[in-house]
Amino acid sequence: MSSPRGIAILGSTGSIGRSTLAVIALHPEAFKVAVLGAFNSWQAIVEQAKAFHPETVVLVDAAAAAEARAALRDAGSATRVESGEQALKDAVSAANVHMVMAAIVGAAGLQPTLAAVRAGKRVLLANKEALVMTGPLLMDEVRRAGAELIPIDSEHNAIFQCMPGGYLPGDPADGVTRVILTASGGPFRCTSAEKMANATPDEACAHPKWKMGRKISVDSATLMNKGLEVIEATLLFGLPESKVDVVVHPQSVVHSLVEYADGSLLAQLGAPDMRTPIAQALAWPARFASGVQSLDLIAVGQLAFEPPDHNRFPSLTLARAAARAGGTAPTVLNAANEVAVQAFLDLRLNFVGISTVIDKVLQRLDSSPVKALGDVLEADAAARRLANTLIEQSAGAST
């Protein structure tokens, strides 16, 4: 019997991190939690460390790390506690880590994800922003380092499962002509544009099918989440934007589809539970239990599909334009979106203002080629500065 494989879970206190630990708990013979990482949620990570006994805990925030260090010392734990982004990169690159769950939300997950790829690990990519920001750079690093990149987003994982046997993301798959991403439609699928203008953060975060963090929930409400997934799909599966379609599927049972040259359309179905793609990625190319109940097709009854409404959800259109433009455009899109969503959550911007800010930032910052990581970071910073300025100006004009 082979020894357990070491896994690092970045963003362990978030929903994906907790689901990953739940799956691992079902298979203690297969996995050893080597690293737990988060930003500053030290109480939650201390409880996780007590349960899973990792060798290392990393909290980016130094004060939170000090609290966790003291708490684990008092509990008699041998777990080492480190702080800072460099400690996170060092931890995922260590020899005791075989695979990395990259689930830190937003641009903050970029550097540790890159470190894991460069170290040649199997990277379970739940952080779509890292790929959207860096584009071909990240995929080039995957090829150079011989890393394995397996998507965790339910849609991209579904596409991965429908690809030919032995396929790994990075290049086009033989015979695949199109992929179709499904979208639940979010909480505002049937809401008028007038009502959406006055939507509250709690309303935007009330997803009908998935329980997620607030940032990704807002992205789902604007359909920016699907727009980012279009960009991600072009990179993962080597397809042009025109070959990545989106359909609204309210039941969230068909997670995505792949079309082949012979006309076959393969779909992956399952209950809306992130433990399924997590288990698939952990076990690949084998399969094992995820703890998810079997899908009851009779209870589901019927499957409905409809086109997305680009007028009410302009963020999807903006993301598609960024995918076609390439270069730094996806980086700018992502950065402006992160700033605008946070402003909405902080009650400094209304819901429809999110896409307005993104549109203005994209118009004012021309796309340029991405030749190195510095190009990405510069574009990200410029977009954030401009988005913040626009939001401040908007707030000043309304007072």
For the chain, the structural domain boundaries read 5-151, 326-399
Instruction: Name which of 224, 167, 221 is nearest 196 in CA terms.
Output: 221
Whole-number pLDDT of residue 395: 74
Give the phi and the psi of residue 64 in degrees, each rounded to 5: -65, -40
* Percentage of residues of the chain with pLDDT beyond 70: 97
Question: Residue 71: is its pLDDT beyond 60?
Answer: yes
Whole-number pLDDT of residue 310: 95
**What is the pLDDT confidence band of residue 141, given thresholds at 50, 70 and 90?**
very high
Check: CB of residue 226 under 8 Å from CB of residue 183: yes
Check whether domain 5-151 has CATH 3.40.50.720, yes or no: yes
Question: Residue 194: is its pLDDT beyond 70?
Answer: yes
**What is the pLDDT confidence band of residue 130, given thresholds at 50, 70 and 90?**
confident
**What is the pLDDT confidence band of residue 276, given thresholds at 50, 70 and 90?**
very high
- Classify domain 326-399 at the CATH topology level: Rna Polymerase Sigma Factor; Chain: A (1.10.1740)
What whole-number distance in Å separates Cα of residue 274 and Cα of residue 278? 6
**What is the pLDDT confidence band of residue 150, given thresholds at 50, 70 and 90?**
very high
Tell me the whole-structure pTM to 2 decimals. 0.92
**What is the pLDDT confidence band of residue 83, given thresholds at 50, 70 and 90?**
very high
**What is the pLDDT confidence band of residue 3, given thresholds at 50, 70 and 90?**
confident
Question: Residue 351: is its pLDDT beyond 70?
Answer: yes
Question: Residue 299: is its pLDDT beyond 80?
Answer: yes
C-alpha to C-alpha distances, 268 to 118, 153, 154, 238, nearest whole angstrom: 31, 13, 10, 20
Residue 108 carries which DSSP code? G
For 99, other C-beta atoms within 10 Å of its C-beta total 21
Check: CB of residue 50 under 8 Å from CB of residue 73: no
Q: Which amino acid is at 350?
A: N
Tens digits of residue pLDDT in 29-63: 999 999 999 999 999 999 999 999 999 999 999 99
Helix (H, G, I), strand (E, B) or coil at 94: coil
Tens digits of residue pLDDT in 365-390: 999 999 998 999 999 999 999 999 99
* Percentage of residues of the chain with pLDDT beyond 90: 88
Instruction: Name which of 300, 130, 114 is nearest 228 in CA terms.
Output: 130
Whole-number pLDDT of residue 394: 82
**What is the pLDDT confidence band of residue 322, given thresholds at 50, 70 and 90?**
very high
Whole-number pLDDT of residue 1: 52
Residue 259 structure tokens: 């079309």
Question: Residue 318: is its pLDDT beyond 70?
Answer: yes
Q: Which amino acid is at 239?
A: L
**What is the pLDDT confidence band of residue 206, given thresholds at 50, 70 and 90?**
confident
Instruction: Name which of 382, 390, 283, 338 is nearest 128 in CA terms.
Output: 338
What whole-number distance in Å separates Cα of residue 60 and Cα of residue 82? 8
Whole-number pLDDT of residue 399: 52
Whole-number pLDDT of residue 58: 96
